[in-house]
């Protein structure tokens, strides 16, 4: 057996998780829950300090879970020299797009370089960040081997894509099947041994590239189908048909149909971004991924469609968008989470303000919009009350949080633009978008 296979075969190992965000933190807590020693690494001192105090910064992870993990041996640090102490190192950092929609692997590369500086025989390195096929062996492997150690001989190297679904009460880290692809059979065996300690079902595949492509297929499948249903929404709206009723009706078919729902655009770190990792890589092989790019264009156009519908709704009441007070109901990209990444609600905010409207927002999960890469927002959330709803010219439902009472919205707001199908049935003051 290789040194890393031997190390990972031990019932108790030391796991290092790099990146303590929506993917890395739940994974680290799961390893701690199952009795493994865990060190979490992050470049943000504030995150590490909060965790050391037993505080959570993700709304669906209670502080009690952090406290229990600390008692079980979990620690958080910004000291990346401690990577040398770990038997397994799992990279869970962002993979955004550059300004020309090209892959930005800078976070992955910096994390890998930090590992390379302290890499020792017997360690296993696992990349979980979504990326294009070939990243593990074309980017990580050379960086890790620069010091003389060999992947598959001295250390293990695998790709195991994250499959987190923030806010999902049914599926969490432990019961979502885990794909693992190894650089060699020995790497694969070590990767399976690592994740089998904490995941109910581990699914081995033949290579890191298969695992990388499988993750992209999962997300592209969703992006394309959302693009399709968003286009169907435009057609249904022109025909005076409720697209949400149509979807619910079609979903009664027990085979051959999966329900996807339209919205104001795509959000989250995965679905709006990951398809373009494949379109970029496909060009290297002379392939133009027209279908994927078309879906991207449709989804990207949805915020502008919502703005247009809002203008139409205001015009029908003899009002202009310029000078109007817009209340965004929900600023998170997804129902019942505190995640703003790539949220289409921010595009709505920008678009309305650029056209002269005054915009405020209500989101029970995001009391204040933090500084983001795209700029700074000074807004703080207004309370979800009848008075707040009555005080705006139009309430735009951007995120269908469970705490948003449809009856209160319909009864209190003078005008509503519903992008999520929250208000069903006929309401004289409700426009679909």
Q: Are residues 34 and 182 in the same domain?
A: yes
Of the candidates 415, 420, 403, the one whose C-alpha atom is nearest the C-alpha of residue 366 is 403
Q: What is the pLDDT of residues 305-349, one digit of tens each?
A: 999 999 999 999 999 999 999 999 999 999 999 988 889 999 999
Query: Helices in 251-288 by DSSP H: which ranges?
Result: 274-284
Q: What are the backbone dihedrals phi and psi of residue 198, each rounded to the nearest 5 degrees, phi first?
A: -135, -15
pLDDT of residue 84: 97
With respect to residue 165, please indicate whether it lies within any of the assigned structural domains. yes
Q: Are residues 184 and 293 in the same domain?
A: no
With respect to residue 211, please indicate whether it lies within any of the assigned structural domains. no
Low-confidence ranges of the chain (pLDDT < 70): 371-378
pLDDT of residue 378: 64
With respect to residue 350, please indicate whether it lies within any of the assigned structural domains. yes
With respect to residue 216, please indicate whether it lies within any of the assigned structural domains. no
With respect to residue 291, please indicate whether it lies within any of the assigned structural domains. yes
Q: Are residues 299 and 166 in the same domain?
A: no
**Which of the residues are catalytic?**
270
Q: Are residues 251 and 388 in the same domain?
A: yes
With respect to residue 213, please indicate whether it lies within any of the assigned structural domains. no
Contact of 273 with 342, CB cutoff 8 Å: yes
CATH number of the domain bearing residue 407: 3.40.50.720
pLDDT of residue 375: 60
Q: In what order do the strands lie in the sheet with 37-41?
A: 75-77, 37-41, 14-18, 88-91, 124-127, 156-159, 178-182, 202-205
Q: Are residues 110 and 200 in the same domain?
A: yes
pLDDT of residue 111: 98
With respect to residue 391, please indicate whether it lies within any of the assigned structural domains. yes
Which pair of structure tokens corresponds to residue 326? 């817009």
Query: Which domain range does residue 44 map to?
Result: 3-206
pLDDT of residue 376: 60
What is the model's pTM?
0.92
Q: 255-291 burial, b if ≥16 CB within 10 A, otherwise e?
A: eeeeebbbbbbbbbbbbbbbbbbbbbbeeeeeeebee
Question: Among 171, 206, 241, which residue terminates a domain?
Answer: 206
Question: Among 147, 182, 206, which residue terminates a domain?
Answer: 206
Q: What is the pLDDT of residues 133-165, one digit of tens each?
A: 999 999 999 999 999 999 999 999 999 999 988
pLDDT of residue 76: 97
Rounded to the nearest angstrom, the gap between the alpha carbon of residue 261 and the centroid of all alpha carbons in its chain is 17
Which pair of structure tokens corresponds to residue 393? 């010219």
322 in helix, strand or coil?
coil
Q: What are the backbone dihedrals phi and psi of residue 120, each rounded to the nearest 5 degrees, phi first?
A: -135, 160
Q: What is the pLDDT of residues 187-199, one digit of tens each?
A: 999 999 999 999 9
Question: Among 181, 206, 231, which residue terminates a domain?
Answer: 206
Which residue's entry shows tokens 């133009």? 288
Q: What is the pLDDT of residues 217-241, one digit of tens each?
A: 999 999 999 999 999 999 999 999 9
Q: Are residues 199 and 274 in the same domain?
A: no
Q: Are residues 57 and 86 in the same domain?
A: yes
In total, how many domains does the chain have? 2
């Amino acid at each position: 057996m290789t040194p890393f296979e031997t190390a990972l075969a031990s019932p108790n190992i030391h796991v290092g998780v790099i990146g303590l965000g929506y993917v890395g933190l739940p994974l680290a807590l799961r390893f701690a829950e199952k009795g493994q020693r865990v060190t979490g690494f992050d470049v943000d001192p504030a995150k590490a300090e909060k965790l050391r105090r037993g505080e959570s910064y993700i709304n669906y992870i209670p502080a009690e879970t952090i406290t229990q993990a600390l008692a079980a041996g979990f620690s958080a640090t910004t000291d990346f020299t401690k990577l040398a102490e770990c038997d397994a190192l799992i990279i869970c950092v962002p993979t955004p797009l550059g300004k020309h929609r090209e892959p930005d692997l800078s976070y992955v590369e910096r994390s890998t370089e930090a590992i390379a500086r302290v890499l020792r025989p017997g360690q296993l390195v696992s990349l979980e960040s979504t990326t294009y096929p070939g990243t593990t062996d074309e980017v990580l492997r050379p960086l890790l081997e620069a010091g003389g150690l060999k992947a598959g001989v001295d250390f293990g190297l695998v790709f195991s894509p994250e499959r987190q679904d923030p806010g999902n009460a049914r599926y969490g880290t432990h019961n979502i099947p885990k794909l693992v692809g190894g650089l060699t059979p020995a790497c694969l065996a070590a990767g399976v041994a690592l994740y089998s300690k904490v995941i109910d079902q581990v699914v081995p595949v033949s290579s890191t590239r298969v695992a990388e492509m499988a993750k992209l297929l999962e997300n592209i499948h969703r992006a394309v189908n959302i693009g399709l249903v968003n286009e169907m929404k435009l057609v249904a709206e022109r025909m005076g048909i409720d697209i949400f009723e149509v979807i619910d009706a079609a979903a009664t078919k027990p085979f051959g149909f999966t329900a996807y729902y339209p919205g104001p655009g795509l959000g989250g770190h995965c679905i709006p971004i990951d398809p373009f990792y494949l379109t970029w890589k496909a060009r290297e092989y002379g392939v133009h991924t027209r279908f994927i790019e078309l879906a991207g264009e449709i989804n990207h156009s949805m915020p502008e469609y919502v703005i247009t519908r809002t203008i139409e709704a205001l015009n029908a009441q003899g009002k202009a968008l310029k000078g109007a007070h817009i209340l965004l109901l929900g600023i998170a990209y997804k129902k019942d989470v505190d995640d703003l990444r790539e949220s289409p609600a921010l595009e709505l905010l920008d678009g309305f303000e650029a056209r002269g409207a005054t915009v405020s927002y209500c989101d029970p999960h995001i009391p204040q919009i933090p500084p983001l890469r795209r700029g700074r927002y000074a807004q703080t959330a207004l309370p979800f009350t009848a008075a707040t709803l009555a005080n705006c010219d139009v309430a735009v439902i951007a995120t269908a949080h469970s705490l948003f009472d449809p009856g209160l919205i319909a009864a209190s707001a003078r005008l509503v633009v519903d992008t999520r199908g929250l208000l069903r049935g006929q309401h004289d003051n409700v426009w679909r978008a």
